Structure 1
Amino acid sequence: MKVSNALLEEAVKIYKVLSNTSRIKILYFLENNEADVSTIVENVNLPQPMVSHQLAMLYRYQLVTREKKGTHVYYCLDDPHILEMVDAMLGHVSHEIKGEPHPYKNSEQRLSK
């Protein structure tokens, strides 16, 4: 797959957004929930200003959507594929911590499956 510099630069921006533990916690919470800020605060155990700031960043990069209903704004995960990528990274980290070999040693093995 040939990848343009513009595409790579956008991917790097998303990786930077995902380099924050609080944002990942929020994304995992929103995987199966539509919630307002108060509900997110209660479930991810982070202060409200931090949650609001992280949601703004996630929204800016189209990782969450928001919808105003009455006086509340509800957030939900915009693209579930983003968590598949995070899950893959967590799998990688898990292998590293345990000192186990990775299921696919190289791209040839991956492509032959």
Structure 2
Amino acid sequence: MKDEIKMPDEDVLIDLAELFKIFGDSTRVKILFGLHDGEKSVGEVASLLGMTDSAISHQLKILKDSKLVRGRRDGKQIYYSLDDDHVLSILNQGIEHVCE
């Protein structure tokens, strides 16, 4: 018999659905993978993905608002990194799932 999973509260389900929406954009997923090995500036991420700083900044704001990345200011420069190990775990589980 499978373990029963209790249905989470409605607010938790809504927050979960919103989180998965963030992963629904391939640019944001690429940014997250680009940050998997450490912090990078907007310019470094833009160069890595072949995109403009402006486009990357827009997506980083969404990722930061969703608590998937965090920024660290060093003078005028902001360096972004994954917020915690859960983000990389979500990405790795997603890759595992689509590669099965």
Give the TM-score normalised by the residue count of structure 2. Answer: 0.86
Match of 2:91 among 80, 86, 110: 86
Name the Cα RMSD after superposition.
Answer: 1.2
Unmatched 5+ stretches in structure 2: none
Match of 1:26 among 31, 38, 41: 31
**1:74 Cα deviation after fit:** 0.9
Match of 2:77 among 72, 79, 85: 72
Give the TM-score normalised by the residue count of structure 1. Answer: 0.77
Secondary structure of the structure 1 residue equivalent to 2:98: helix
Higher-Rg member (1/2): 1
Amino acid at match of 1:59: K
- Using the alignment, how far apart are the partners of 1:61 and 1:39 within structure 2? 21
- Using the alignment, how far apart are the partners of 2:90 and 2:36 within structure 1? 13
4+ long deviations beyond 6 Å: none
Amino acid at match of 2:22: V
Equivalent residue number for residue 39 of structure 1: 44
Amino acid at match of 2:67: Q
Unmatched 5+ stretches in structure 1: 96-113
Equivalent residue number for residue 98 of structure 1: none
